[in-house]
């Protein structure tokens, strides 16, 4: 299984980070072989929406599970929508976190364990770790701008090939003669578009809520 651990370093012996959205590094690990790759977190220094953008990035890596400490509601929703399990890991190294996961000693999160934050330092955490600082300001929703309030439900009724609020086209329906490979590619593209739209919708909702 391909898993990712939020980390404060670049190898298996680095401390696991209790922070998901603003940790410096993600360690991708094959739980069977323990081969790993360190990837810098591109959302670490984002002014807002770090949790959402980090979750989108991690989903794009093709992982099946995330091992971390604090996970906000927007990041959790993105991971859950993509079918990525989120697990609460104890203090220790990345290696120890992976071993605990393999032994079944980590807890599957049923939801976020920290509150949504406003800005880079606002909001108290519920789990005792450092805040993620996700949400308002310059997150993914800022790119959408006007009209994001329509949400995803209405989008599902668009004709195939119509543009989404993200500026991406929904793939056309697969014809009866399409090969399994072609159908799979189009379905993956559709899923990618929907994930992006979901993340941007949540980010925009949070921006509007912060202005109330």
Whether the predicted model's global pTM rises above the 0.75 cut: no
The CA dihedral of 142, 144, 149, 151, to the nearest 10 degrees, is -120
Q: What is the mean pLDDT of each run of 10 residues along the chain (212 residues)?
A: 96 94 95 95 85 93 94 92 92 94 92 62 35 34 34 39 42 57 71 67 67 69
Q: What is the pLDDT of residue 77?
A: 93
- Terminal-to-terminal C-alpha distance of the chain: 43
Q: What is the pLDDT of residue 181?
A: 72
- Alpha helices of 61-179 — where are they, by DSSP H? 73-81, 94-102, 141-144, 151-155
- Is 10 in contact with 41 (CB distance < 8 Å)? no
SS percent in the chain: helix, strand, coil, step 5: 35, 15, 50
Cα gap 168→123, rounded to integer Å: 34
Q: What is the pLDDT of residue 144?
A: 32
Other Cβ atoms closer than 10 A to 16: 25
Write the burial class of residue 5 (CB in 10 Å: 0-12 exposed, 13-18 middle, 19+ buried): buried
- Give residue limits of the domains in the chain: 2-108, 141-210
> Structure tokens of 117?
């934050």
Cα gap 37→117, rounded to integer Å: 30
Cα gap 89→98, rounded to integer Å: 9
Nearest CA to 121 out of 50, 56, 58 is that of: 50
Query: What's the CATH number for 2-108?
Result: 3.30.420.130
Q: What is the pLDDT of residue 202?
A: 66
């Amino acid at each position: 299984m391909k898993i990712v651990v939020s980390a404060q370093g670049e190898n298996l012996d680095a401390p696991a980070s209790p922070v998901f959205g603003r940790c410096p590094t993600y360690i991708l690990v094959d739980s069977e072989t323990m081969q790993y790759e360190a990837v810098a977190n591109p959302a670490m220094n984002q002014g807002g929406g770090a949790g959402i953008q980090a979750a989108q990035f991690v989903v794009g890596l093709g992982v099946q599970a995330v091992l971390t400490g604090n996970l906000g509601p927007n990041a959790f929703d993105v991971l859950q929508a993509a079918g990525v399990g989120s697990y609460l890991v104890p203090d220790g190294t990345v290696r120890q976190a992976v071993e605990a996961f393999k032994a079944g000693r980590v807890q599957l999160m049923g939801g976020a364990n920290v509150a949504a934050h406003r800005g880079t330092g606002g909001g108290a955490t519920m789990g005792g770790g450092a805040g993620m600082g996700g949400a308002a300001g310059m997150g993914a929703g800022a790119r959408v701008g006007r009209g994001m309030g329509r949400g995803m439900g209405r989008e599902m009724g668009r004709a195939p090939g119509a543009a989404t609020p993200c500026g991406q086209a929904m793939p056309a329906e697969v014809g009866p003669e399409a090969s399994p490979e072609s159908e799979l590619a189009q379905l993956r593209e559709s899923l990618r578009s929907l994930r992006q739209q979901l993340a941007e919708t949540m980010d925009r909702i949070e921006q509007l809520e912060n202005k109330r």
